[in-house]
C-alpha cells in the first residue's frame, strides 16, 4: 500500500512538472503569434499577420501535450478504464470543435471583438478541461462504487 501511494505521489509530481514545463516553454517553442498581441494594446488593433497553418500546428501540439498529461493524471485516480476511453474521445471531439471555432475567430475577427478569439485560444492552450473533469469523474466513480 505504501509503495502504491508513493508511486501515485511521484507520478502526480511528474505530471504537474510536465504541465509547468509546457507552460514554461510555450512562449519560445509554442508561440502562435497571438501571445504578444494579447499582452499589449489589443482592444482596438487588427490581428497581426498570422500563418494559420503554423498557428494550428503550435496550438495542436500545446493542446495534445496538455491533454496527454491530463489523461495520465486522471488515470492515476480513476479506476474505470471506460472513463479513460471516454476522456480520449472527449479531448478529440473538443479539439476538432475548438479548431473550427478558432478558424471562425481568425477569419471573422474585427478590431475590438477579441473575446471569442481570446477564449477559444485559451481553451486550446490551457488544461482547463482537466479542472472541469476532475469533479465530474470523481462523482461518477463514487456513484458507480456505491
Q: How many domains does the chain have?
A: 1
- pTM of this structure: 0.85
CB-hemisphere CA count at 13 Å for 39? 6
- How far apart are alpha carbons 135 and 75 in whole angstroms? 14
Say how far apart CA 43 and CA 58 lie, in whole Å.
Answer: 24
Which range of residues forms the domain containing residue 78?
2-145
Distance CA 43, CA 45 (A): 6
Q: What is the pLDDT of residue 64?
A: 95
Alpha-carbon span 73 to 129, nearest angstrom: 12
Quick check: 128 and 63 in contact, CB under 8 A? Answer: no
* pLDDT at residue 21, as a whole number: 94
pLDDT by residue for the chain (146 residues), tens only, comes to 677 788 999 999 999 999 999 988 887 787 777 777 777 766 667 777 878 888 888 889 999 999 999 999 999 888 777 888 889 999 999 999 999 999 998 888 777 778 888 899 889 999 999 988 888 888 877 777 76
Please give the pLDDT value at position 27: 76
The rounded Cα 106 to chain-centroid distance in angstroms is: 19
| Cα dist from 58 to 52, 70, 77, whole Å | 10, 18, 29
Amino acid at each position: 500500500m505504501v509503495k502504491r501511494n508513493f508511486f501515485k505521489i511521484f507520478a502526480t509530481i511528474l505530471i504537474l512538472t510536465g504541465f509547468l514545463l509546457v507552460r514554461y516553454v510555450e512562449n519560445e517553442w509554442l508561440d502562435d503569434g497571438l501571445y504578444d498581441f494579447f499582452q499589449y494594446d489589443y482592444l482596438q488593433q487588427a490581428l497581426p499577420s498570422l500563418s494559420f497553418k503554423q498557428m494550428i500546428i503550435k496550438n495542436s501540439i500545446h493542446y495534445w501535450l496538455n491533454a496527454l498529461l491530463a489523461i495520465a493524471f486522471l488515470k492515476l485516480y480513476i479506476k474505470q478504464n471506460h472513463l479513460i476511453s471516454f476522456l480520449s474521445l472527449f479531448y478529440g471531439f473538443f479539439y476538432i470543435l475548438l479548431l473550427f471555432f478558432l478558424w471562425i475567430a481568425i477569419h471573422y475577427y474585427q478590431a475590438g471583438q477579441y473575446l471569442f478569439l481570446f477564449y477559444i485560444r485559451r481553451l486550446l492552450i490551457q488544461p482547463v478541461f482537466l479542472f472541469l473533469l476532475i469533479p465530474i469523474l470523481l462523482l461518477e466513480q463514487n456513484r458507480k462504487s456505491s
